[in-house]
């Protein structure tokens, strides 16, 4: 049905605009797209309209509410939409950003593209011990997708969760762009004056302020005025990812340069939590977007969302960030998105990614940006901190001590890719889950699986290091050593049993393992 709609070519279509029906010709459609490859329009909802079908044809915008749908479409998508014969109104979405008396220290301006590159480079140059800049990829336009990595021992794999903030994959949703630059600035300067020790020492933090530079600077590198939602090919990047339900190319487009860059990043860095920022509404949106199924960790997500929103409310004026359920919503409950980044990261990369909508206005007057910072700063910091909580530890081979890539799963709880893996080279795993008692199962090909019962509390860390015994292990009595023995223990903690697996630790740092099996 959907494919039929997509393939149909309609020469004469009934459409509704300015309160009258009119015959719309191909020439008229061409004229709508001659200056700009995307259209913004709205239509009213009635019982006849199946939003799920429509969301597969066009990009429904975050500004949509129970009565009115706001949407974007490129030319192909708009022709498909017209085939549905729904009354619509065209809207002007070309945003002119007022100039402001800006200063870098106040973060009340949108930088030019060149300023953006310079600011990012300056972060790394000024704080080389805790900040690295990464060019994740250069687009055909020459624009770069940049990220900074912030941590102590930055760039060296440690027993830390990797956390990602990424903003503005919709190029005309720019509140998060400036807030992310300011967050980087605040973290780096704060650390040097004694703040943020907990998160910078303990978390591998990645921040990408601008995920769609071609959209943000569509009208030129000097200004974000005229920014577009889509990328330079008029593709909505938040419909371009592999989808758990709708396959590899849910939008019918090949993966865009930007999409491939972020897929590569997720292949390279085992992010355990991430968040991507948009505007058009004021709400915390958690998975799934593509289907009505709830995640295995729905209660954890609700808790997390409420924490973000509640902390915003502590700092903001009444009326901000209270859309839907007081600033929190399940994605599909709001409106369906297929091919979104959030679901891709959760389902395919086993990373807990949320979507935060920071402001109703897509590109707010720059003088209001410090206000949005003030409202969101504590929530942004606390959200990073959440990546330390839940169950975590290191999984190793019980004999060699080598770290393992093990599957961490709760039978009877996990489904739809809610399990996680420990990451090499460190062997660390990070499992976020609502408080309760769970039996965690650790498995790795070639090893005996192990289940451990653990009690989890919210906003606290439970550490469980796990040693897995190789299937192929055969006991060998080691020859007597002249080395000085400093410790000896059974790896399963057994005491006084004749059956045991002894580990001997010697003064020179070497170890030996001995299996004793007493058949009697």
Of 349 and 362, the one with the shorter C-beta distance to Zn ion is: 362
Strand-strand pairing, 283-286 and 204-208: unpaired
Q: How many alpha carbons fall within 13 Å on the CB side of residue 406?
A: 35
- Give me the least distance between CB of 135 and Zn ion, in Å please: 24
What is the x/- site pattern for Zn ion, positions 227-266, by CB under 5 A? ----------------------------------------
Of 56 and 278, the one with the shorter C-beta distance to Zn ion is: 278
Of 124-132, 185-193, 278-286, 380-388, the window that binds Zn ion (rule: CB under 5 A) is 278-286
CB 294 within 8 A of CB 275: no
Of 56 and 170, the one with the shorter C-beta distance to Zn ion is: 170
Of 173 and 343, the one with the shorter C-beta distance to Zn ion is: 173
Beginning with the edge strand found earlier in the chain, give each strand of the sheet holding 436-443 in spatial order: 420-421, 407-409, 436-443, 450-456
472-491 residues in contact with Zn ion (CB under 5 A) are: none
CB 21 within 8 A of CB 14: yes
Backbone angles phi, psi at 391, to 5 degrees: -100, 135
Q: How many helices and strands in the chain, by DSSP H and E?
A: 14, 25
Of 37-45, 258-266, 276-284, 485-493, the window that binds Zn ion (rule: CB under 5 A) is 276-284
Radius of gyration of the chain (CA): 26
Of 36 and 512, the one with the shorter C-beta distance to Zn ion is: 36
Q: Name the residue number minimizing CB distance to Zn ion.
A: 278
Q: How many alpha carbons fall within 13 Å on the CB side of residue 330?
A: 13
- Give me the least distance between CB of 173 and Zn ion, in Å please: 5
Three-state SS letters, 453-513: EEEECCCCEEECCEEECECCCCCCCCCCCCCCEEEEEECCCCCCCCCEEEEEEECCCCEEE
- Give me the least distance between CB of 473 and Zn ion, in Å please: 52
Give the total of residues touching Zn ion (CB under 5 A). 3
Which residues are catalytically annotated? 357
Q: Is 278 in the site for Zn ion (CB under 5 A)?
A: yes
- Give me the least distance between CB of 61 and Zn ion, in Å please: 7
CB 395 within 8 A of CB 421: no
Backbone angles phi, psi at 457, to 5 degrees: -115, 150
492-511 residues in contact with Zn ion (CB under 5 A) are: none
CA 205/CA 228 separation, integer angstroms: 28
What is the x/- site pattern for Zn ion, positions 58-87, by CB under 5 A? ------------------------------
Of 30-38, 156-164, 277-285, 368-376, the window that binds Zn ion (rule: CB under 5 A) is 277-285
- Give me the least distance between CB of 366 and Zn ion, in Å please: 19
Q: Which of 305, 150, 166 is nearest to 237 (CA)?
A: 166
156-215 residues in contact with Zn ion (CB under 5 A) are: 170, 173
Of 340 and 390, the one with the shorter C-beta distance to Zn ion is: 340
- What are the DSSP calls for 134-146, one per residue? EEEEE-TTS-EEE
- Give me the least distance between CB of 195 and Zn ion, in Å please: 31
Residues that bind Zn ion (CB under 5 A): 170, 173, 278
């Amino acid at each position: 049905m959907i494919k039929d709609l997509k393939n149909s070519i309609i020469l004469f279509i009934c459409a509704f605009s300015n309160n009258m029906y009119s015959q719309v010709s191909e020439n008229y459609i061409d004229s709508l797209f001659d200056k700009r490859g995307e259209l913004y329009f709205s239509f009213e909802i009635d019982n006849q309209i199946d939003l799920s079908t429509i969301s597969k044809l066009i990009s429904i915008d975050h500004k949509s509410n129970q009565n009115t749908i706001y949407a974007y479409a490129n030319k192909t998508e708009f022709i498909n939409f017209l085939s549905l014969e729904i009354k619509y109104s065209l809207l002007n979405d070309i945003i002119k950003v007022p100039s402001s008396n800006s200063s870098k220290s106040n973060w009340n301006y949108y930088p030019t593209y060149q300023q953006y590159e310079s600011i990012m480079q300056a972060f790394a140059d000024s704080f080389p011990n805790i900040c690295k800049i990464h060019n994740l990829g250069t687009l055909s336009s020459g624009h770069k997708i940049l990220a900074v990595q912030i941590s102590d021992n930055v760039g060296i794999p440690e027993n830390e969760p990797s956390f990602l903030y990424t903003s503005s994959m919709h190029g005309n949703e720019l509140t998060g762009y400036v807030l992310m630059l300011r967050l980087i600035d605040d973290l780096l300067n704060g650390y040097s004056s004694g703040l943020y020790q907990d998160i910078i020492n303990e978390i591998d933090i990645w921040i990408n302020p601008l995920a769609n530079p071609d959209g943000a600077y569509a009208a030129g590198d000097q200004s974000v005025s005229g920014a577009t939602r889509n990328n330079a090919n008029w593709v909505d990047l938040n419909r371009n990812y592999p989808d758990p339900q709708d396959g590899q190319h849910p939008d019918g487009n090949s993966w865009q340069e930007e999409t491939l860059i972020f897929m590569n990043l997720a292949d390279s860095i085992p992010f355990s939590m991430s968040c991507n920022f948009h505007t058009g509404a004021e709400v915390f949106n958690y998975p799934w977007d593509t289907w009505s199924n709830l995640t295995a960790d729905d209660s954890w997500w609700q808790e997390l969302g409420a924490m973000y929103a509640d902390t915003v409310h502590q700092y903001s004026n009444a009326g901000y960030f209270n859309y839907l359920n007081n600033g929190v919503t399940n994605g599909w409950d709001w409106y369906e998105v297929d091919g979104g980044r959030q679901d891709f990261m959760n389902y395919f990369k086993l990373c807990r990614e949320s979507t935060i909508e920071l402001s109703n206005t897509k590109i707010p007057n720059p003088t209001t940006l410090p206000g949005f910072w003030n409202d969101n700063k504590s929530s942004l910091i606390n959200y990073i901190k959440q990546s330390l909580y839940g169950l975590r530890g290191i999984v190793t081979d019980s004999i060699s001590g080598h770290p393992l890539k093990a599957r961490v799963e709760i039978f009877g709880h996990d489904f739809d890719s809610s399990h996680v893996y420990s990451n090499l080279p460190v062997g660390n795993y990070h499992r976020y889950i609502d408080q309760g008692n769970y039996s965690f199962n650790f498995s790795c090909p070639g090893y005996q699986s192990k289940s451990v019962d653990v009690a989890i509390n919210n906003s606290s860390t439970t550490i469980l290091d796990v040693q897995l015994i190789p299937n192929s292990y055969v006991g060998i009595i080691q020859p007597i050593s002249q080395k000085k023995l400093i410790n000896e223990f059974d790896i399963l903690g057994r005491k006084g049993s004749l059956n045991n697996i002894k580990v001997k630790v010697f003064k020179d740092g070497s170890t030996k393992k001995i299996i004793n099996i007493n058949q009697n």
